Structure 1
Amino acid sequence: MAIDRAPTLTDVARLAGVSLTTASKAINGKPRVSDSVRARVLKVAKELSYSPNPMARSLHTGRSGFVALIIIDTLSQRWAVPALLGAESALSQIDLSLVAADARGEARRLNELARVFQARKVDGLLVLGDNNVVTPSLAGIVSVPVVYLHGDTGDTRDVVHLPDDRGGIVQVVEHLVASGRTRVAFVGGPAGVRATVERARGLQDRLDELGRPVVGGVSRCGPWSQRWGRTAADQLLQEHPDVDAIVCASDQIAFGVVQAVQASGRIVPQDVAVTGFDNWLAFATETEPALTTVDMNLADLGASAVRDLFSIIDGTSVGRGVRYHDTTLVVRGSAP
Structure 2
Amino acid sequence: MSIPYQTDITRLYGIRLPVVAGGLMWLANADYVAAASRAGIMGFITAASFPEEQQLRGEIRRCRDLCDGGPFGVNVSMLPKLVPGEKTQQVFETIIDEGVRFVETSGRSPEAYLPLLKSAGVKVLHKVPAVRYALKAQSLGVDAVAIVGAECGGHPGMDMVGTIVNTAWAQHALHIPYLVGGGIGHGSQIVAALAMGAAGVVVGTRFLVADEIWAHAEFKQRLIQAQPTDTDLCMQSIKNTVRTLRNETTALVKAMEVENPQVTIADLMPLVSGQIGRNAYKTGDWSRGLLAAGHALAFVDRAEPLAAIVARLQEQMLQAMQRLDAVRRVAASVD
Higher helix fraction (1 or 2): 2
Instruction: Decide which structure has the larger Cα Rg and report it.
Output: 1
TM-score after normalising by structure 1: 0.28
